[in-house]
Amino acid sequence: MSARKGGDRPRILHLHSTFSAGGKELRTVRLINAFGAKAEHAIVSGEPGRMEAAQHIARHVPVRYPREFPTLQGKPTPGRLQRLARAMQGYDLVLTYNWGAMNAVLARTAFRDVFALPPLIHHEDGFNEDERERLKPLRNWFRKIALGRSNGLVVPSETLERIALEVWEQPIGRVRHIPNGIDTRAFARRPRPDALRGVVKRKGERWVGTLAGLRPVKNLPRLVRAFRALPQDWHLVIVGEGPERDAIRAEADRWDIGHRVHLPGFAPDPARYVGLFDVFALSSDSEQFPISVVEAMAAGLPVAAPAVGDVAAMVAEANVPLIAPAGDEAALSGALAQLAADSALRSEVGEANRAKAREAFDEKPMIAAYRRLYSSALGGKGIG
């Protein structure tokens, strides 16, 4: 039963697959900060040790991290589902994120009436490594059943919207396509050459840059190979952390370009340094709506990337010819070479991207869309 009384601020429970400082988590942080002190938040991570995004929540926002909450992982046995359902009591709205929270979604569907559970809105931003090439039929079936009584399913990309409607068979009125947004104006500032810790941009250098978790799905050794033929004044800067660091370094050494490949690690606040790049690049096997592409666009950069997820639809029309077919390493290399050789093309495409980012991907419309959706689920009560 809801704990909300009269004009009290709503209590919102967030159930995340992980609360590391990734795209979906930092979007959640931006929304929490935008709602301010008009809502209370409880945040649970399916990986309890991954809570890095929490440090970005504003101090004035009432938020807690309940340690006693049942684990989101494990087989969906009746006992586990019942414990999850009971733990949702006392909140006014439950927000779940990605496959790692799907047990909680099923628990709420199964026990909604028994325990008078609050409304639930699920968010899907992409897939695990094991579904990058093909969705698992059993998980598709599980999602279809679990989402059957949810109050909404939010997706940031057209690709995921199609999957939700056609594969998971969700009714069109339940699926909400809300593109990710950022503070586009913050990326207009020109960064200092030493804005990125661990590597300084020297006079005469040009940078191909990317922001990515160093995971197999990002296929960063492919980016090293695609970059390797660029002239000596070009450097590759890969910002992020993950288990593929040694593989990336080994690929750079194999082509004798280790001195031009830099891995400074994870760096917060991309607006401070993305503008140091001259070209932004991706090499992923799978993406949906990569927020790093929007950040690069807002900084006025051209983008070279494979046509995965919504990437080709995200960039400006002038940038579309530089989007390579998925998996085509030669085409990706060609796009990088074309941009490296033509500063006027870089400038033209970058400015077109900046204009599109401001028009289509600013965070203000995104925040407004989420505020309307959550307020509707809360019975029309505003949340900031």
When pLDDT is averaged across residues 117-127 and rounded to a whole number, the result is 93
- Residue 1: pLDDT over 70: no
- Residue 129: pLDDT over 90: no
Are 252 and 227 spatial neighbours (Cβ–Cβ below 8 Å)?
Answer: no
When pLDDT is averaged across residues 328-356 and rounded to a whole number, the result is 98
Question: 198 and 278: one domain?
Answer: yes
Are 94 and 125 spatial neighbours (Cβ–Cβ below 8 Å)?
Answer: no
Question: 231 and 257: one domain?
Answer: yes
Q: Is residue 5 part of a domain?
A: no
In angstroms, the CA 149 to CA 229 distance is 53
Q: Is residue 3 part of a domain?
A: no
Question: 321 and 309: one domain?
Answer: yes
Question: 141 and 243: one domain?
Answer: no
- Residue 11: pLDDT over 50: yes
Q: Is residue 54 part of a domain?
A: yes
Domain range for 78 is 11-181+363-377
74 backbone φψ class: left, alpha, beta (φ>0; ψ -120 to 50): left
Question: 97 and 36: one domain?
Answer: yes
Question: 78 and 219: one domain?
Answer: no
- Residue 330: pLDDT over 80: yes
Q: Is residue 1 part of a domain?
A: no
Question: 319 and 199: one domain?
Answer: yes
The total number of structural domains that make up the chain: 2
Domain holding 15: CATH number? Answer: 3.40.50.2000
Taking residue 117's Cβ as centre, other Cβ atoms within 10 Å add up to 23
Question: 239 and 349: one domain?
Answer: yes
Question: 52 and 197: one domain?
Answer: no
Question: 141 and 31: one domain?
Answer: yes
Question: 134 and 220: one domain?
Answer: no
Q: What is the pLDDT of residue 289?
A: 87
Q: Is residue 199 part of a domain?
A: yes
Q: Is residue 382 part of a domain?
A: no
Q: Could you tell me the pLDDT band of residue 133, with boundaries at 50, 70 and 90?
A: low
Q: Is residue 124 part of a domain?
A: yes
pLDDT in tens, 236-276: 999 998 899 999 999 999 999 999 999 999 888 899 999 99
* Sign of the torsion angle spanned by Cα atoms 133, 182, 354, 161: positive
Question: 151 and 212: one domain?
Answer: no
Q: Could you tell me the pLDDT band of residue 309, with boundaries at 50, 70 and 90?
A: confident
